Structure 1
Amino acid sequence: MKNRLTVCASHLITLPSAPHGPVRAAIAAARDAVARFDPELVVFFGTDHRRAFRSVVPTFAVVLEATAQGDVAGPVGSYDVPSSLGRALIADLVAHDFDIATAYRAELDHAFGHTTRDLLVSLDAKPVLPVFINCASPPHASFRRAASLGRRVGEFFADRRVLYVGSGGLAHDLPGFREPETGVVLTEEERQAWIKSVNERARSEGTIRSLVQAWDEAFLSGIGDTSWEWLDTIGDDLVERGGNGAAECLTWTAAWAAGGQALTTLAHEFDTNGRAVVMSQ
């Protein structure tokens, strides 16, 4: 499949405060591979941290116009979104029994912004079609359903030279996302103050989850193959095994299925936050 390249990466890995480890080096290697591949289109499967989608949180959505919020030292500006292609994709997905939402415009957060900058250098370097997958506000789609969506997207763009991107994960736990979704809109200053207070309370109460590396390894093994059997068990006891942040790997699963190829792990680090970069080769 010479006309497809898939790259999945954790976000926030190039912040100055982030560890300067093998994952940071791997994102540079992936960026070089993307430049050599020179896609005509980037289909970006990303999520949100309860910033962009508030009063309505769809399970899946195709975004037709997008800007970047610039949160967490992320980029600002507008994405070059091919809206006519997005509309055609929405029609195709509905015709194939996916209840996809249309986001006519969205101000996307760092779940899209950081990885776009890491791989493409700038937001408008290539046409980017954002496909939103809800990972932060349960209930989430199953991993098999995310894969089914991705596979259909890959079939729709089979005749184009496409880079498929998934951003998020791996195992990590965010105390703030244990709180039920309310749709409340916060300024970024209010959000950061709230996150700080929730994290401090979790530490004082001793409710910070101690995660183990096994979930990361099982997930990376799954996308390192083309079989779909693993999809039916990887989501079992997800929060207990991988933390609530592991749901972000739904975006990786969709990108993996869209590309239709086994992915190679370029780098993986595990501490309180699982981080990795994977790519089809």
Structure 2
Amino acid sequence: MTLAVLCASHTPLMQDGVATDGVRAEVKRGFKALAERAEAFAPDMLIQFAPDHFNGFFYEVMPSFCVGINANSLGDWDTSEGPLHVMSDEALQLGETLLHDGLDVAVSYRMEVDHGFVQIWERMFGNFNRFPTIPIFINCAAPPLPTFKRARLLGEAVGRWALASGKRVLISASGGLSHDPPTPSIVTAPDEVKERLISGRHPSKEVQNARVERVLAAGARAATGTTEILPVDPAWDASFIEQLQSGNLEAFDNIPMTEIRAKAGRGGPEVLAWVAAFAALSVQGRYQADLLYYEAIQGWIAGMAMMFAEPKANSA
């Protein structure tokens, strides 16, 4: 059968962050174009790589990679709460295959996912269960982080499994590109914040509201260019996109995550998910990757990109 890739940025500020009506209209058109490409591909199954933002995964036990056998959306920011339509039998098979392939992945029978997994689907289709899915978490926020090489090898192993499944499989990634949200570091955070990073599952309304207000305020400052965080970097984003389109994914292998965080921001490592997705597609041969939308939206603290890729005809 065949594979395709759908990738898109997410941001907690998409609903209430600072942006012009024109930008909002273009983002909406981008998601519509992305949805049309997904529908035309007509997948039997979706495999999604995505991060978490200390909502479902914590330092108490922080795997580099985790396959969801069952999963539930927490409904943070502007997303809905409820169970994902997970292909549990196939997810378990995939988890076992990855372990046999030398990838040390965890599995979860009660994975909790946040907007990083579901927001783009709700923007495309109005709900996050348009396609039956296998969710794969990649730790992009809690150093020490996995390397690009490990993400690439994970993606290639997923791609081999998907090709052998006999199904049309849409491989997806959400995250990035350059963005520097005000995420605290466990090394320098006060004790109360450290405890939330270690074991902060299901926080109180008061804690949730404080977090929302902090991120909204950071976005408002970013929109004016006077901020304590790194601005979205369209040049860095363009270079990353061009490298994905080239198909030379091994070129990322030796780039340290410390460099990504320094240049693309604390949220920059979410591009690990994109590399994993394109690596999965690469096992089928050369591909054509189309950039459907890009904008550096400072008020959303996000390099917003949307891509769709399919194998080139007659590729080896």
* TM-score of the aligned structures, taking structure 2 as reference length: 0.80
- C-alpha separation between the residues in 1 aligned to 2:124 and 2:256? 28
* Greater shift in the superposed pair: 137-146 or 116-125: 116-125
Unaligned runs of 5+ in 2: 188-193, 311-316
Q: CA deviation digits over 1:184-219, x for unaligned, max 9?
A: 31235403404645886997x963224532221121
- C-alpha separation between the residues in 1 aligned to 2:251 and 2:184? 26
Instruction: Find 2:306's aligned residue among 262, 273, 277.
Output: 277
Q: Is 1:103 aligned to residue 124 of structure 2?
A: no
Report the CA distance shift for 1:14/1:34 in structure 2 as closer, same or farther (over 3 A): farther
Rg larger for: 2
Query: Shift in Å at residue 264 of structure 1?
Result: 1.6
Which residue of structure 1 aligns with residue 314 of structure 2?
none
Which residue of structure 2 aligns with residue 50 of structure 1?
54
Instruction: Find 2:228's aligned residue among 201, 207, 224.
Output: 207
- C-alpha separation between the residues in 1 aligned to 2:119 and 2:232? 25
Q: CA deviation digits over 1:136-162, x for unaligned, max 9?
A: 111111112111101110100103200
Query: Shift in Å at residue 22 of structure 1?
Result: 3.3
Report if the CA contact (8 A) 2:121-2:130 is conserved: no
Q: Is 1:176 aligned to residue 183 of structure 2?
A: yes
SS at match of 2:183: helix
Report the CA distance shift for 1:188/1:107 in structure 2 as closer, same or farther (over 3 A): farther
Report the CA distance shift for 1:201/1:26 in structure 2 as closer, same or farther (over 3 A): closer
CA RMSD of aligned residues (A): 2.5
SS at match of 1:141: coil
How many residues get paired?
279
Query: Shift in Å at residue 176 of structure 1?
Result: 2.1
Report the CA distance shift for 1:243/1:277 in structure 2 as closer, same or farther (over 3 A): same
- C-alpha separation between the residues in 2 aligned to 1:14 and 1:195? 13
Report if the CA contact (8 A) 1:71-1:188 is conserved: no
- C-alpha separation between the residues in 2 aligned to 1:197 and 1:100? 33
Report the CA distance shift for 1:120/1:4 in structure 2 as closer, same or farther (over 3 A): farther
Q: CA deviation digits over 1:163-190, x for unaligned, max 9?
A: 1110011101022243446313123540
- C-alpha separation between the residues in 2 aligned to 1:122 and 1:196? 26
Which residue of structure 1 aligns with residue 118 of structure 2?
113
Percent identical among aligned pairs is 30
